[in-house]
Amino acid sequence: MTDLRVRRGVGDGPTVLLLHGLGATSEVWDGVVAALGGAWVAPDLPGHGGSAPLSEYTFPAVADAVADLVDPERTVVLGHSFGGVVGLHLADRPGVRAVVGLGIKVAWTDDELARAAAMAAREPARFDTRAEALTRHLRLSGLDGLVAPDAPAAAAGIVEEDGRWRPALDPRVFGVGDPEMAALLAAASVPVVLARGEHDRMVSRAQLRALVPDPVELRGLGHNAHVEDPAAVAALLARSRHDGG
């Protein structure tokens, strides 16, 4: 297994496997697990935070890297954005009872994929000061304005190298390509819930309805709904956790 930084909590009920979005770290789930209770496990995905990079990034490769974190007895997966796609790749693993995908960008244009590939080819940005690296990390992860620079979710996303600072994110992660959501959903053998914040500009309700008949919309929230209102996302997850036995 890839060398992963993993955080855990113990409790009753199915284990919740929490997979953060691109550029973030497991700390973005702190509010959700506090509101939810029960057993949970949250890794920094490969190439993020304190986890080692992969030689090549694909959605299946990232899913394989975290697959050993699935409790073979009972696991409900909650993934945000990039992590939601990774979660769907785990849907057929023994023990997975349900997958909740929050804020997944389900439709990609050729231009968007080309821009992502160009970002994957860039060298990591390096800065003379820690504050500059923190600012860059919060922008990359979409947490700017939602997470304070002195919060754990900010500090976990930067590293110091040779006296300079950079975001921990491996830029090559941007090159994962089209998630091909329709095929993933067709292959899923467990219940899947797709959800979005009402004001999420990454994915529309119409795009989700083209894939599933009953997407969940979280009123008043944006792309990082789990950071904006952890209790609302915990309530969404609690339903899947209960249904997943």
Question: What pLDDT score was predicted for residue 148?
Answer: 94
Whole-number Å distance between alpha carbons of 58 and 60: 5
Whole-number Å distance between alpha carbons of 140 and 111: 19
For the entire predicted model, the pTM comes to 0.96
Give, in order, the Cα–Cα distances in Å from 185 to each of 109, 181, 215.
20, 6, 13
| Residues 182 and 175: beta-carbon distance below 8 Å | no
Whole-number Å distance between alpha carbons of 25 and 3: 15
Q: CA 205, 66, 17 angle in degrees (round to 5)?
A: 55
Question: What pLDDT score was predicted for residue 245?
Answer: 53
- Residue by residue, pLDDT tens for the chain (245 residues) are 569 999 999 988 899 999 999 999 999 999 999 998 899 999 999 999 999 999 999 999 999 999 999 999 999 999 999 999 999 999 999 999 999 999 999 999 999 999 999 999 999 999 999 999 999 999 999 999 999 999 999 999 999 999 999 999 999 999 999 999 999 999 999 999 999 999 999 999 999 999 999 999 999 999 999 999 999 999 999 887 766 55
Contacts of 183 (CB under 8 A, 6+ apart): none
User: Hey, what amino acid is at 241?
Assistant: R
- Which DSSP string corresponds to 108-168? --HHHHHHHHHHHTSPPP-BSSHHHHHHHHHHHTT-TTTS-TTSHHHHTTEEEETTEEEES
Question: What pLDDT score was predicted for residue 12?
Answer: 87
Determine the straight-line distance between the first and last CA of the chain, rounded to whole angstroms.
Answer: 28
Q: Which two tokens stand for residue 74?
A: 């009972």
Q: Which two tokens stand for residue 170?
A: 């491996």
Whole-number Å distance between alpha carbons of 205 and 197: 9
